[in-house]
Amino acid sequence: MEKSIHSSEYERFLALLRETRVLSGLTQEDIATKLNATQSFVSKCERGERRLDLVELAAWCSALNVSLTSFVERFEKRSQ
């Protein structure tokens, strides 16, 4: 299993993360405010410069008003 942030799976993850934010009608600044973080942090995460762990992903999903389960299910469908 490739653990690089440059793997094709991680690229799919990042694309879904960005897409979910955009479809939620939120800007990077909106997410940053909800996460009590900076817009720069959000940008780095979306570009893959900063890897998210499960706890952080759960916080992102909450900020995006989507369940962690539904986010993971969408990711799995794209990975098939």
Q: 30: how many CB neighbours lie within 10 A of its CB?
A: 16
| pLDDT score of 70 more than 60 | yes
Give 10-44 pLDDT, tens digit per residue. 999 999 999 999 999 999 999 999 999 999 999 99
pLDDT of residue 1 exceeding 70: no
Contact in structure between 24 and 64 (CB atoms under 8 Å) = yes
pLDDT of residue 63: 97
pTM for this model (two decimals): 0.88
Closest C-alpha among 56, 54, 58 to residue 67? 58
Residue 4, pLDDT score: 63
Got the DSSP string for 40-77? HHHHHHHHTSS---HHHHHHHHHHHT--HHHHHHHHHH
